[in-house]
């Protein structure tokens, strides 16, 4: 009896996933989907950077008041 181990994805599994995605979304919608995912990741990273900058400025203000 074989077990499914996460992390061991071979070329057959990747090919199967690509084929299913092509069947579900079609060739024309995949670039739009990837563009949306890329812009989402970019906005997420910018948000994290803004949050870190705000935290640093709050820390500096707290040090000045001390």
4-38 tens-digit pLDDT: 556 677 888 889 988 898 888 887 888 888 899 99
On whether residue 34 sits in a domain, the answer given is yes
Buried b (16+ CB within 10 A) or exposed e, 14-33: eeeeeeeeeeeeeeeeeeee
On whether residue 39 sits in a domain, the answer given is yes
On whether residue 7 sits in a domain, the answer given is no
pTM of the full structure: 0.52
On whether residue 54 sits in a domain, the answer given is yes
On whether residue 38 sits in a domain, the answer given is yes
56 pLDDT more than 90: no
On whether residue 35 sits in a domain, the answer given is yes
Band of the pLDDT at 1, cuts 50, 70, 90?
very low
The total number of structural domains that make up the chain: 1
On whether residue 36 sits in a domain, the answer given is yes
Query: Which of 50, 47, 48, 22 is CA-nearest to residue 34?
Result: 22
30, 22 contact by CB (below 8 A): yes
Give the range of the structural domain holding residue 59, as residue numbers without chain letter. Answer: 29-66
On whether residue 3 sits in a domain, the answer given is no
């Amino acid at each position: 009896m074989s077990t499914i181990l996460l992390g061991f994805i071979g070329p057959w599994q990747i090919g199967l996933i690509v084929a299913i995605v092509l069947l579900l979304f079609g060739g024309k919608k995949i670039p739009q989907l990837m563009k949306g995912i890329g812009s989402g990741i970019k906005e997420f990273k910018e948000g994290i950077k803004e949050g870190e900058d705000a935290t640093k400025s709050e820390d500096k203000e707290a040090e000045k008041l001390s």
